[in-house]
Structure 1
Amino acid sequence: MVSLRQLRYFLEVVDAGGFSAAAERLFVAQSALSRQISELEKALQAVLLERSSKGVTLTPAGRTFVTEARRVLTELEGSIALTRSVARGEQGSVRVAHSSSVPFAGGLPVALRAHLQANSGVTVEVSTLSSEQQQDEVEAGRIDLGLVRLPVLRPAPSLVCETIARERLLLLVASDHALAGVASVSVAALAAEPFVSLPHRERGGLSYRVAQLCQQHGFFPRAAAATSRKATLVNLVAAGFGVAIVPESLAALAGPDVRRVALDDANAESEVALLRRRDAGGLVVALADALAGALKAP
């Protein structure tokens, strides 16, 4: 089997014009250098160099091999440089997913643009997945970073889950709803209201957090005739199906047919976290830091 050392030694002999000069350049014994070249020729089953008192001359096979050897080493050096650049967070591709309750809006795209402008060799692919799906995909290496709405019901010990933001929760109602004109309301006053988003029995996230708040006041959210755990819940509120409790970032996307009402409850808050593998490289960590900086509250 041909080794990289043999390739480098062979090219040094060619460039130096002989074994003695090449051995001096490489700081190795001439006998060791000669042995490596002999083993290379044996592995290739071809004579590469004709030796004489005047030095060495490439055989036809040697002239072919010297071109290929230079190409292999050049490509290897390029791969090493690329790998080091990726490890430093300077070059490569990062796959990011976010929960629909963590809109990729506001400061996030601004921070992403600034990061990519400062790191021209980096590209990013953004998709939407539930918090639990993100956890599975990050573990499997199919995505690199996840933006999730806590709680995650079954946190994976192999992942880093860093809380990066805390948001106030607001009530969304249709513009013709009885609560549309009030400045604030308590969660306790919503016991009879139909909710357009209910928690999934196997998933955490926003709807689970809302259910926690409701249960603290002795009731479980009553289901509206149409429900959704996605951002489409805003459209269901606008259509008059029921109410929703959402974070400020999601409420900001609501149109003129929806009213935002403050919640009196001091603990009416929700947290956003970043998910990544513990062994994530510098490319991923650098982007994670940039996105976290966009959301972290002072």
Structure 2
Amino acid sequence: MISLKQFKYFIEIVEAGSYSRAAEKLYIAQSALSRQIKELEDELQTPLLTRDARQFELTPAGQLFFERGKRILEDIDDTLVQARHVGKGAQGVIRLQHSSSVILTPRISNALAQALEVHAGVTLDVSMLPSENQTLEIEEGRADIGLVRLPTLRRHPHIQVQDIGSEKLMVAVPQHSPLAALENVDLAQLSEYAFISIPHKDRGGLSYLVANLCLELGFFPKPARALSRKSSQLNLIAAGLGIAIVPECMQLTAPPGVRFITLSHGRLMTTVGMATRREADPLITAFATTLLAGLDAIQT
């Protein structure tokens, strides 16, 4: 039977790059380490490493075992952390992710604060990840709740996404741009301007939405000389390097020098969704339900 110790030993050897360095870090004899790996390979009935006198290489099976084994150990570590929280009276850690275009506005932040007040034993671990990646992270158990910019293109059988609100799309422009003097601009007027953020028709979220809106009008945005799909795009716009179509909420984080112009008389909208597993842990389900109720109560 394969033991967790063998998982750990194998991962350590690969990351250390040699048996000797791994043995030093693990405080065991190199011969004992070699024996453990041999027993692991015998149990699997396949070699994981090809060895010579000085070095080793991973076999295809070894590469797979390393990648999956490392993830297993990380999941175990996460489980231990959560168990310690429970042991100290906490109910658990909920991992929440949001995309760079779904900033934690006062509405979202206040709803999170209210949910944390209701679920006093919960701790939030908040991180940022693109919308498409979030649904995969939740599907594979590395995240619990995602705040995504719709649409998401990848379909995961265990994931549900609920709308939590819509907002206007706007054009972010440098303050000295001719566009900055306008109160409103039609999307078609932007066909000759350089875009800091180039939308991608095969990538979900805001990128997909903007790409399709432009293609419907017969053009695809021209790329600027500096490109970014992250919040740093606003700094590049302030420096006069291009424009971008962004959600209205991005005004909250914009540096001086960026002007936001209403797009197509405010008719073009973008939607934010909350992604969770359909059959999540009861604590996650309860927290998500409370969060949804809070978001419904706090309207923009």
TM class by shorter-chain length?
0.5 to 0.7
Say if 1:98 and 1:128, in contact at 8 Å, map to a contact too. Answer: yes
1:274 aligned residue: 274
**What corresponds to 2:246 in structure 1?**
246
How far does residue 266 in structure 1 lie from its aligned partner after superposition?
5.6
Hey, what does 1:182 align to over in structure 2? 182
CA apart distance, 1:215: 1.2
Distance 2:177 2:286 in 1: 45
Q: CA deviation at 1:164?
A: 1.5
In 2: Cα distance, 1:291 partner to 1:182 partner: 38
Q: Which amino acid aligns with 1:212?
A: N
What's 1:3 paired with? none
User: Are residues 1:99 and 2:99 paired?
Assistant: yes
Q: Which residue of 1 aligns with 2:283?
A: 283
Give the match's secondary structure for 1:148: strand
Whichever of the two has the greater Rg, that structure is 1
Q: Residue 212 of structure 2 corresponds to which residue in structure 1?
A: 212
Measure the CA separation in 2 of the matches of 1:147 and 1:241.
29
Percent identical among aligned pairs is: 43
Aligned-pair CA distance for 1:111: 1.7
Contact preservation (8 Å) 2:168, 2:266: no
C-alpha distance 264-200 of structure 1, shift in aligned 2 (>3 A): closer
Task: Give the distance between the partners of 2:254 and 2:147, measured in 1 at CA.
Answer: 21
Distance 1:273 1:174, change over 3 A: same
Residue 250 of structure 1 deviates from its aligned partner by 1.6
Match of 2:149 in 1: 149
Q: Alpha-carbon deviation of 1:295?
A: 4.3
Look up the match of 1:264.
264
**Paired residue type of 2:99:** S
Deviation at 1:162, TM superposition (A): 1.1
Deviation digits for residues 112-151 of structure 1, max 9, x if unmatched?
Answer: 2222223221111000011121111101111001111011
TM-score, structure 1 normalization: 0.66
- Which secondary structure state, in structure 2, belongs to the residue aligned with residue 146 of structure 1? strand
Matched residue, 1:255 = 255
**Matched residue type, 2:160:** V
Deviation, 1:203, is 2.0
RMSD of equivalent CA atoms: 2.2
| Structure 1 stretches lacking a partner, 5+ long | 1-78
Partner of 1:191: 191
Code of the residue aligned with 1:238 in structure 2: it is: A
For 1:191 and 1:115, the matched residues in 2 are separated by 44
Superposed displacement of residue 213, structure 1: 1.2
Deviation of 1:202 after TM superposition, in Å, equals 4.5
Structure 1 counterpart of 2:4: none
**Bigger shift: 140-149 or 262-271?**
262-271
Q: CA deviation at 1:219?
A: 0.5
- The 3-state SS of whatever aligns with 1:153 is coil
Match of 1:121 in 2: 121
* Cα separation, partners in 2 of 1:121 and 1:155, compared to 1, 3 Å: same
The alpha-carbon deviation at position 265 of structure 1 amounts to 5.1
Determine if contact 1:161/1:276 at 8 Å carries over to the other structure.
Answer: yes
Deviation of 1:254 (Å): 1.1
Q: Distance in 2 between matches of 1:294 and 1:199?
A: 32
Structure 2 equivalent of residue 59 of structure 1:
none
